Chain A
Amino acid sequence: MTTVTSSRELPMYNRVVRRLFGSWDQTQLTFSFGLVLLMAISPLIIRSPYYIGVIILASLYAFIGISWNIVAGFTGQLLIAHIIFLGLGGYTTIVLLNNFGISPWFGILMGGVIAAIAGGIVALITLRYGLKLDYFALFTIALLVAMRTLFLKWEFVGGAVGMYLRLETPSVAKMIFASKLPYLYISLILLAAGVIIQYLIYRSKMGKYFIAIREDEAAAAALGVNTTLYKTLAVMIGTALAGVGGGFYVIYVTYIDPTGIYNLGVNAEIVMASPIIGGLGSLIGPLLGALVNKPIAEIIRANLAEARSGITLIVYGLFLIASIMFMPRGLAGLIHNVYDRLRTPTHQEEL
């Protein structure tokens, strides 16, 4: 080490702080892993299987939120009915297991592949016919309705009844466990992978191009961005992750049916609420949002479900409206403001 720079002379502590919190992007990554770690050690304190279940679904919502964030948050494409691809991944996984005896470990990955292919087709069709923004959103909603009808009539995948996991004795190969803990760790590994994938994309050329497309598509094209290619890539990455998430979701909840999965209300809770509450387009948003969204949805359901049917949806909807009104940039936006304020005094010396 002949070239000793000033940063090398800094104490170890400062170097670690700079590495972990040096930029807002790194700070979000650090906090994300902190939260994943907290969820991983939560069973030390939380014993109740019910609460562990809530944490499993929260981490899955966060993973699914990341998958939507890459499409809707990064490139700004209103792929509203993203749950279509969750459904495809879920059905793929359960059909492979029930009908062909193929392990979910592989089936979940195939779910991602099938969902990505479907996503690529949707992207190419909509881009070919120039469907953007609200028209693209409407197209995806129409597709959701079409998928529901198709699956309701399709006896091979169980029609209106749907498909159930044949619950057998616990088996690692079939991803059936007696305790909830293995599910928790599988979903946390998925989430950690999602966090890393999202971060790597965000920092790469692809991520910069995604955001350029969101901010101004025509200007991006002028600077050499093949907007069709990159919009398709974003959709395919997002839908691949959604397919994987859907595959695990089905294995965890043990069934899937057309009205339950190809459903806009479920879509709002599982796919859209977490990134929106947490901050669409930010790195930590889907994770932060899921940790608020899932517990609140559970609390509302636990306390109000018996009062009058439908009331839970009204209260949950009001909660979503309030969070959009009062936190347009989500929880991540609030934290970002605090971060900027803390950082300003030390910021100048770096320039």
Chain B
Amino acid sequence: MALLEVKNITKRFGGLYAVRSLSLEVDPGQIVALIGPNGAGKTTAFNVISGYYRADEGNVYFNQREITNLRPDQICSLGLVRTFQVVRPFQGISVLDNVMVGAYARTFDSKIAREKALEVLKFLDMHKIADQMASGLPIASRKRLEIARALATDPQMILLDETMAGLRPTETEEVIAMVRKLSERGIAILLVEHVMKVVMSLAEKVLVLHHGELIAQGTPAEVVRNQQVIEAYLGEADVAG
């Protein structure tokens, strides 16, 4: 049984289809990558699934329950949480407080939220910066904070929006290791990613979006050999025919 089931969602902006009749499934604990050229509609798809945009058509199911057009906070409390492409830490408060905001999703008790937040920070090896202000963090730590906050909400599934963008190769390795750790906890992951190395090393299944439509899916090895995918990324081999 699929954990996340997206059925034929469509999102239009004016006359432009950002996402057209997109369907996808993610099983419990699975890592799935959503790739595609710039403007393919990946982030729009994320925004529809996580409740930030209203779907014009189609349905989203999570754990067999329909979540189409619920509010982001309702979707989060059902166990589906997202991160943002452009990181959005709560700047004026500490790393620990940032993660506590996530932890409060499951409790009213500040003591429990604090323990949960510390546990998450320790798990992700970030407890040494717990007392630092989020505003002073370097970009790599901000990306990790984004994941830590999401993890603190106790999700069954995380949507990661271009977590590796803007990172140096060694930092990318660290975040890849982090995503693996999440996966080992049994958390399903749907990630949007441009860095192919990340996709190849993490994803069990790859979905390719182009102009808002799904043009290919399969294992990473299958997808990179797919002719349509190559054309979408590089343009057609011989335009003049």
Contact = CB atoms under 8 A, between A and B. Distances in A.
Interface of A: 203-205, 208-209, 211-212, 214-216, 218-227, 281, 351
B149 interface: yes
A225 B153 CA distance: 11
Contacts of B72: 218, 221-222
B92 interface: yes
A212 B92 CA distance: 9
Contacts of B113: 205, 208
Majority-rule SS of A interface residues: helix
Given A208-B104, A223-B149, A223-B152, 6 more contacts: A208-B101, A212-B90, A220-B90, A224-B77, A226-B73, A281-B92
B102 interface: yes
Interface string B103-136: 0110110100100000000000000000100000
Given A204-B110, A205-B110, A219-B84, A224 B104 contact: yes
Interface size class of B (residues with CB under 8 A): 20 to 34
A346 to B, nearest CB: 14
Contacts of B52: 218
Nearest to A219: B88
B71 interface: yes
27 contacts: A204-B110, A205-B113, A208-B97, A208-B110, A211-B90, A212-B90, A216-B88, A216-B89, A216-B90, A218-B52, A218-B84, A219-B84, A219-B88, A221-B72, A221-B76, A222-B50, A222-B73, A222-B81, A222-B82, A222-B150, A223-B73, A223-B105, A224-B81, A224-B102, A224-B105, A226-B74, A351-B131
Interface of B: 50, 52, 71-74, 76-77, 81-84, 88-93, 97, 100-102, 104-105, 107-108, 110, 113, 131, 149-150, 152-153
B143 to A, nearest CB: 13
Contacts of B104: 205, 208-209, 224
A215 B76 CA distance: 19
B150 A215 contact: no
Contacts of B92: 211, 214-215, 281
Contacts of B71: 221, 226
Given A211-B93, A215-B90, A220 B50 contact: no
Contacts of A218: 52, 72, 84, 88
Contacts of B88: 216, 218-219
A140 B67 CA distance: 35
A225 B84 contact: no
B101 A209 contact: yes
Contact of B110 (A203, A224, A227, A281): A203
Q: Which 5 A-B pairs have the closest CB atoms?
A: A224-B105, A215-B90, A219-B88, A224-B76, A221-B72
B91 A215 contact: yes
A224 B73 contact: yes
A204 B82 CA distance: 24
Contacts of A203: 110
Contact of B73 (A208, A214, A216, A221): A221
Given A203-B110, A204-B110, A225 B73 contact: yes
Given A203-B110, A218-B52, A223 B84 contact: no
A198 to B, nearest CB: 16
B101 A225 contact: yes
Contacts of A212: 90, 101
A208 B97 CA distance: 8
Contacts of A204: 110
A223 B98 CA distance: 10
Nearest to B128: A351
Contacts of A351: 131
B84 A222 contact: yes
A223 B101 contact: yes
Given A211-B90, A215-B92, A222-B50, A227 B101 contact: no
A212 B89 CA distance: 9
Contact of B153 (A214, A215, A224, A226): A224
Which one of B81, B83, B90, B91 has the highest number of Cβ atoms from chain A below 10 Å of its Cβ?
Answer: B90
